[in-house]
Structure formats: C-alpha cells, structure tokens
C-alpha cells in the first residue's frame, strides 16, 4: 500500500521500493498513465516537486524520496451542476462511487441536458468546495440502477480507465430474467454489434465485438416464472447483459426492447457491487449498492452475501 497524504493542493507520495530507479517522467507515463499533454502541463505549471525541489524529469527517484504533485487545484468544468439527492457509496479526495437511481442518464447527451447523474455529481463535488473535471469511468443504461465510479481528477481518470481496460475493476449485477435456467452457472460468449435496423438496439453479430458474460442463478421464482441471477462481465459492451440473456431465451423482465415482458416499469438490472484497488493508496475498495426501487422490483436478499 502506498504511503500518501494530502496537504492543501498538494498530494505527497512516499516513493515505494517498486519505483526505485524510475525517472519522474517514467512514473507519470507508466504508473499514472499521464498523456504527453498532461505531462507538459504538469511541467510548465511547476506542479511536481521531488524532495521540495523542482527537478529535471529525467531525475531518478529512490525509495523513501518524497514526490509532490499539485493535484487539488480548482479546475473549471463545462458540466452544468444540478442539485440531486445522491446516494454516495464511497468518496475520498480522488474518486467517488454513486448508487445511480433508475430513469436517469449517466452523462448529458446534449449541451442543454442538465439532468444526468454527472450533473448531480458535479454539483455534489462543488458543494464540498471542490471545482473539478469529474469523469465517469463507466456507464449504466438510463433504466439500469447501481454502482457507478467517478474520478475527480483527469490523472485519476487515466489510471482508472487503464484499470478498466485491464479488467481490474470488477462489477457484479443482479438481474431478474424470464424462465428457468438449465444450469446454476453459465457463460455466454457471443460477439455484439449494432442493429442496423434499430438505432438503439444491439444484436449478436459475427462481425461484432467480443463479449463474455458469466451468470449464476440465486433463486427461482416459480410463481412468476422468473430467475434471480447475478452477472459479471469480462467485457463492457453496450447492452451486453440484456443482449446476451435475450440470446439464450431468458430476456430481462421488464426489458421490452429485447423481448422481455412489461412485468416491471424498467429492465430488472442493478449493478449491486463494484470492487477495485484504489489507484493512489492501493487499498482494496468494495462497494455495495442497496436497491432503490419503490415499489420494489427485486426480492429481499442480502446483497452483502453476493
């Protein structure tokens, strides 16, 4: 675990042994995943110090050196802040996890759209006295609820984006699907592409992107002919769970776009858990998102046992 501390606008990182012999520039390139433009701005803005001195970025660091990064200065955003009563699951100086309600977009779809979850998160951060370039690391469909991860700084967003690409951010969903599954566990490996005949739909396509979904059956609701399942993804394609479950004749309950019956006002899909290693402190973070629907869609279950 990295030893870090915040002092005003500065982040202090005590150099660990695994960084020994790296240059300052290498740390920003290979550990923090900073772009060339970002590195240029850090250099020109004199936002990085090594042991209280502005060193050449080719300088190598040694264990127990202290690198200081001016990370917490105000950074104006183009996103309109909008008040929302947000269920915050985790927050620190670097990131936050929100339990997204259903019927709200993850981000604005047009400049005049001020009603997305991102607008609400920007407002929340601003009310905490921070003006930040907040970024969503992944997204959920408008009618899907649950955990969404946001970065408070562009540099943190870079690291989290890379972690997502490397499948180091694990997300678990709970879903209600029509019918009963033939096995308690299963994996769906089918490529997903756009449906040329429908603007918002996706479909199984041999020319689509690779997609893998794992599922586990938790309960069978025999009276309603529904199965309560969990899903985890190796990939993050648009509508992936919805398309995959529909392709094996178990569409999500309420998901009329993909063949589900309108037994609920929305598709019965909830991102119940997110797990990742903190990009700065290297602590293990695990967040659980309680169900928000009223009236309830999902049966009463212990989400912390998932």
**DSSP string for 101-161:** PSSS-SS-SSTT---SHHHHHHHHHHHTT-----EESS---TT-EEEEEEESSHHHHHHHH
Could you give the residue numbers annotated as active site? 141
Q: Is 3.40.50.2300 the CATH classification of the domain at 3-70?
A: no
Counting every residue written for the chain, the total comes to 306
Q: Would you state the structure tokens that stand for residue 128, as one six-digit string? A: 């905490």
Per-residue pLDDT of the chain (306 residues), as tens digits, is 889 999 999 999 999 999 999 999 999 999 999 999 999 999 999 999 999 999 999 999 999 899 999 999 998 899 999 999 999 999 999 999 999 999 999 999 988 899 999 999 999 999 999 999 999 999 999 999 999 999 999 999 999 999 999 999 999 999 999 999 999 999 999 999 998 888 789 999 999 999 999 999 999 999 999 999 999 999 989 999 999 999 999 999 999 999 999 999 999 999 999 999 999 999 999 999 999 999 999 999 999 999
Q: Which numeric CATH code is attached to 172-270?
A: 3.30.2350.10
Burial class (CB in 10 A: 0-12, 13-18, 19+), 300: exposed
How is the chain split into domains, by residue range? 3-70, 172-270
Bridge partners of residue 173, in order along the sequence: 231, 271
Which tokens belong to 185?
């566990």
Specify whether the CB–CB gap between 240 and 215 falls below 8 A: no
* Helix, strand, coil percentages, rounded to 5, for the chain: 20, 30, 50
Phi then psi dihedrals of residue 292, to 5 deg: -115, -10
64 touches 15 (CB < 8 A): yes
């Amino acid at each position: 675990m990295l030893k870090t501390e915040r002092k005003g606008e500065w982040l202090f990182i005590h150099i660990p042994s695994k960084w020994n012999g790296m240059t300052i520039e290498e740390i920003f390139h290979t550990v923090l995943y900073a772009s060339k433009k970002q590195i240029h701005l850090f250099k020109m803005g004199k936002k990085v110090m090594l042991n209280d001195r502005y060193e050449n970025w080719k300088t190598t660091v040694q264990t127990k050196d202290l690198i200081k990064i001016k990370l917490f200065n105000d950074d104006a955003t183009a996103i309109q802040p909008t008040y929302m009563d947000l269920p915050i699951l985790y927050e620190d100086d670097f990131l936050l996890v929100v339990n997204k309600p259903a019927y709200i977009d993850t981000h604005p779809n047009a400049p005049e759209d001020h009603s997305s979850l991102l607008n609400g998160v920007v407002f929340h951060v601003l009310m905490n006295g921070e003006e930040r370039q907040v970024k969503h690391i992944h997204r959920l469909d408008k009618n899907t609820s649950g955990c969404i991860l946001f970065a408070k700084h562009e540099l943190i967003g870079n690291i989290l984006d890379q972690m997502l690409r490397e499948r180091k951010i694990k997300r678990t969903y709970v879903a209600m699907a029509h019918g009963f599954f033939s096995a308690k566990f299963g994996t769906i490996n089918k490529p997903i592409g756009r449906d040329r005949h429908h603007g918002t739909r996706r479909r199984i396509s041999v020319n689509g992107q690779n997609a893998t979904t794992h599922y586990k059956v938790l309960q069978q609701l025999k009276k309603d002919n529904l199965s309560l399942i969990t899903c985890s993804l190796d990939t993050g394609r648009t509508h992936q769970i919805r398309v995959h479950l529909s392709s094996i004749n178990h569409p999500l309950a309420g998901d009329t776009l993909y063949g589900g019956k309108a037994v609920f006002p929305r598709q019965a899909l909830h991102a119940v858990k997110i797990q990742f290693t903190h990009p700065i402190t290297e602590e293990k973070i695990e967040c659980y998102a309680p169900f928000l629907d009223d009236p309830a869609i999902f049966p009463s279950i212990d989400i912390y046992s998932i």
